[in-house]
Amino acid sequence: MQYRRIGETGLELSVIGFGCGGNAGLMIRGDAREQTRVVARALELGINYFDNSPDYGNCVAESNLGRALKELGARPLLNSKVEIRAENLGDIAGHVVASTEASLKRLGVERLDVMQIHNGPTSKPLAMEGKYYAQLPLEQFTGPGGAMEGVRRLLHDGKIRHAGFICRGGDGVETRELLDSGLFHLVNTPFTLFNPTAGYAAPGLKGVKDFGGVINRARERGGGAAIYSPLASGFLTDDALRGDNRHPLARAYDMNSESSIRLRKQAAAVAFLARENGISLAQAAFRFILTHPGVIVGLGGFSTLEQMEEIARVADMPPFSAGDMTRLAAVWASNFGL
C-alpha–C-alpha distance, residues 11 and 13, integer Å: 6
Per-residue model confidence (pLDDT) at position 325: 96
Q: For the residues 175-191, what does the mean pLDDT come to?
A: 95
Contact (Cβ atoms closer than 8 angstroms) between residue 285 and residue 8: no
C-alpha–C-alpha distance, residues 127 and 133, integer Å: 10
Closest CA to 119 of 145, 98, 148, 91: 148
As a whole number, the mean pLDDT across the chain is 93
| Start-end of H helices in the chain | 26-29, 32-44, 60-72, 92-107, 138-142, 147-156, 172-180, 214-220, 238-242, 258-270, 272-275, 281-289, 305-312, 322-333
Per-residue model confidence (pLDDT) at position 127: 66
**What percent of the chain shows pLDDT beyond 70?**
98
Contact (Cβ atoms closer than 8 angstroms) between residue 2 and residue 316: yes
Q: For the residues 92-117, what does the mean pLDDT come to?
A: 97
Q: What is the CATH number of the domain that holds 23?
A: 3.20.20.100
Per-residue model confidence (pLDDT) at position 338: 84
Q: With cut-offs at 50, 70 and 90, classify the pLDDT of residue 130.
A: low
In this predicted model, which residue has the larger pLDDT, 156 or 258? Answer: 156
Q: How far is CA 241 from CA 54, 246, 310, in A?
A: 32, 12, 17
Closest CA to 229 of 275, 193, 272: 193
Is the pLDDT score of 18 beyond 70?
yes
Q: For the residues 14-21, what does the mean pLDDT come to?
A: 95
At 137, is the secondary structure helix, strand, or coil?
strand
Q: With cut-offs at 50, 70 and 90, classify the pLDDT of residue 261.
A: confident
Is the pLDDT score of 128 beyond 70?
no
Length of the chain: 338
Q: For the residues 40-60, what does the mean pLDDT come to?
A: 95
Contact (Cβ atoms closer than 8 angstroms) between residue 99 and residue 154: no
Q: With cut-offs at 50, 70 and 90, classify the pLDDT of residue 259.
A: confident
Per-residue model confidence (pLDDT) at position 252: 74
- Degrees (nearest 5) of the Cα angle 214, 215, 221? 85
At 105, is the secondary structure helix, strand, or coil?
helix
CA 298 from centroid of its chain's CA atoms? 7
Closest CA to 148 of 77, 240, 84, 210: 84
Predicted model pTM: 0.92
Q: Phi and psi of 80, rounded to 5°?
A: -145, 180
Question: Domain tally for the chain?
Answer: 1
CA 92 from centroid of its chain's CA atoms? 23
Domain holding 218, by residue range, is 3-337
Bridge partners (DSSP) listed for residue 5: 12
pLDDT digits (tens, 9 = 90+) for 293-323: 999 999 999 989 999 999 999 999 999 999 9
